[in-house]
């Protein structure tokens, strides 16, 4: 072999009595090495955005203006941020930690089994999705995928380069694909608790709550390593994955594919947090939806804007858990400015290479951008060492 370090590590693996054989360890090492090579350049902001903080309110200052100087300070500040946002968006019901998936049907596909499953994602509403389990034995990482419906990510139907659950099960992950099928059909989107007429939470927070319940059910699946569960979504699903991972810290890593990671009324309907199915909920009937700017926003959204809140505060809650922004037309290079705040929090905590962003011109993901997504999840979740 050309790499002497690989020779030494491989030899040690062959001499141990662990679960990895020499051959499987070599495959593991090669996969990890390839994953890092694919993502290593995306943790570094371009020079023009390095240490640029913009006008965003620093997460390293308490709301009363006091500075966050220590790790202990950050734990208090972190709780302050989460409490404030939950207070603004509406408190969650208790997360349902004791349920397991009900299996409705099972189908063998290639080198994995597809189970159609049902579970409660809110106390009064069940949903159906797809649980994909690879044939390989032993402890496995897992990923939740979220979208308008579950079929696309499971590789059953849908547009190209959005089959994230299918692609990750082929890489040895257990995957759960869920989506808001019914509200997508009736064009109200999202989740409303207890119902659309009297929602107690902003719908985007309700989506995050549903993903928390999905995490709990997925963690009980045989051989799933609950310390290695991530979440990924594109566009609508990217917003969903972002709020879920920021607000529920059991998610070990997250990928947000061009959701619009901060408020931005210059991107039209791509970054439309003012809509009533996101952060602009008000009692129906709704008017002027799919508006191209937030000027007509109602509900919580105008207050958030007026009082200086922005989503970079939620990004900071990820620290030190890693996340990747797979940016397109909604999240261009200048998104490094808000991301620098999350980098600063990680730096205070003694971590680096926890905040990454790749970029492409288009909103739609492509083969190259998705390879970065898959490599990111493999690097951070394929073992517990990260």
Residue 62 has pLDDT above 70, yes or no: yes
Q: What is the DSSP letter of 61?
A: B
pLDDT digits (tens, 9 = 90+) for 286-323: 998 998 888 878 999 999 999 999 999 999 999 999 99
* Mean of per-residue pLDDT scores for the chain: 93
The CA-to-CA distance between both ends of the chain, in Å, stands at 26
- Cα dihedral 36, 145, 258, 314 sign: negative
The model's pLDDT over 225-236, given as tens digits with 9 standing for 90+, comes to 999 999 999 999
pLDDT tops 60 at residue 21:
no
On whether the 44-381 domain is CATH 3.40.50.1820, my answer is yes
- State the DSSP code for 283: S
- The structure tokens 């996340």 sit at 323
Segments making up each domain of the chain, as ranges: 1-43, 44-381
User: What is the reported pLDDT for 352?
Assistant: 97
How many other C-beta atoms lie within 10 A of the C-beta of residue 4?
8
Does pLDDT of 164 surpass 90? yes
Residue 25's pLDDT band (cuts 50, 70, 90):
low
In this prediction, residue 27 carries a pLDDT of 65
d(CA 245, CA 38): 23
Q: What percent of the chain is helix, strand and coil (3-state, nearest 5)?
A: 40, 20, 45
**Two tokens, residue 156:** 């059953």
Q: Which two tokens stand for residue 236?
A: 């609508």
């Amino acid at each position: 072999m050309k790499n002497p370090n690989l020779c030494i590590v491989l030899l040690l693996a062959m001499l141990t009595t662990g679960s990895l054989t020499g051959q499987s360890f070599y495959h593991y090492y090669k996969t990890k090495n390839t994953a890092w090579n694919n993502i290593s350049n995306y943790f570094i902001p371009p020079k023009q955005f390095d240490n640029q903080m913009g006008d965003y309110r620093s997460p390293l200052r308490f709301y009363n203006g006091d500075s966050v100087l220590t790790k202990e300070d950050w734990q208090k500040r972190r709780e302050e941020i989460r409490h404030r946002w939950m207070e603004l968006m509406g408190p969650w019901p208790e997360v349902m930690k004791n349920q397991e998936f009900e299996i409705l049907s099972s189908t063998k596909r290639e080198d994995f089994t597809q189970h159609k499953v049902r579970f409660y994602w809110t106390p009064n509403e069940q949903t159906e999705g797809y649980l994909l389990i690879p044939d390989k034995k032993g402890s496995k990482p897992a990923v939740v995928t979220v979208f308008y419906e579950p079929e696309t990510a499971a590789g059953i139907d849908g547009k190209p380069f959005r089959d994230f659950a299918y692609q990750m099960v082929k890489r040895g992950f257990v995957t759960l694909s869920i989506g808001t099928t019914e509200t997508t059909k009736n064009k109200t989107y999202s989740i409303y608790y207890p119902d659309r007429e009297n929602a107690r939470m902003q719908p985007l927070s309700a989506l995050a709550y549903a993903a928390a319940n999905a995490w709990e059910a997925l963690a009980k699946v045989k051989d799933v390593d609950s310390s290695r569960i991530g979440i990924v979504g594109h566009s609508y699903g990217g917003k969903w994955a972002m709020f879920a991972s920021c607000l529920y810290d059991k998610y070990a890593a997250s990928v947000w594919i061009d959701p619009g990671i901060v408020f931005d009324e210059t991107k039209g309907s791509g970054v439309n947090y003012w809509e009533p199915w996101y952060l602009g909920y008000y009692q129906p009937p709704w008017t002027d939806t799919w508006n191209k700017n937030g000027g007509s926003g109602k509900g919580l959204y105008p207050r958030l804007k007026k009082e200086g809140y922005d989503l970079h505060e939620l990004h900071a809650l990820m620290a030190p858990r890693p996340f990747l922004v797979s940016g397109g037309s909604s999240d261009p290079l200048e998104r490094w400015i808000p991301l620098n705040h999350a980098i600063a929090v990680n730096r205070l905590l003694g971590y680096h290479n926890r905040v990454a962003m790749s970029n492409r011109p288009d909103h739609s993901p492509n083969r190259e951008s998705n390879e970065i997504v898959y490599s990111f999840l493999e690097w951070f979740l394929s073992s517990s060492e990260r």
